[in-house]
Amino acid sequence: MTTQETAADLMHIEDIKRLKSRYCRFIDTKQWDRLNELFAPDLQLEGFTIVGGNGAMFAAELAQRLEFAMTAHHCHTPEIRLTGPDAAEGVWAMMDLIEWPHPVDLKNFSGATGFYGTGFYEERYRRDCGQWRIAFMRLTRTRFEPLIYGARPPGFSVFAGVRDFTPPSPDWLQ
């Protein structure tokens, strides 16, 4: 705790941690309506293969894509700082594992049955009506490994999947 952080500041940071925890849990338990409640009305997204709109559109497209998938989303080691009385930003290390019961076409890979990935969420939060919401969310990748049953092809690289994904921002939270 810095000398500038108050007990109230730490309570806000804890609320944001719980917000992100619900984000992961609502995706993995397929609670799409509840997921939508976590976003500010003017949600902005970067680095996702889902494009467009607001939190409802994001949740609806996730629901469609992940309907038959087993998912595991983990977020770790948050760095969160308040930037105003009702604003904050943060970065989270993340890991995701997605598996479908059938082959799918993924970015840079065709016929995979899922993927394992790591990276970071770079986010901004806003407090509306006393509740913290995600207002901006950028998904970055440091690793993207397709799950391919059977032998991997010659020359296969686990880092090949990172190509064309958003890389982490070294100056986020500077």
Domain borders along the chain are: 7-162
User: Residues 58, 14: contact at Cβ < 8 Å?
Assistant: no
Per-residue pLDDT reduced to its tens digit, 124-151: 999 999 999 999 999 999 998 888 766 5
For the entire predicted model, the pTM comes to 0.84
Return d(Cα 161, Cα 172) in angstroms, integer.
23
**Reduced to 3 states, what is the DSSP secondary structure of residue 11?**
helix
- pLDDT, residue 150, reads 62
**Res 158 pLDDT > 60:** no
CATH 3.10.450.50 fits 7-162, yes or no: yes
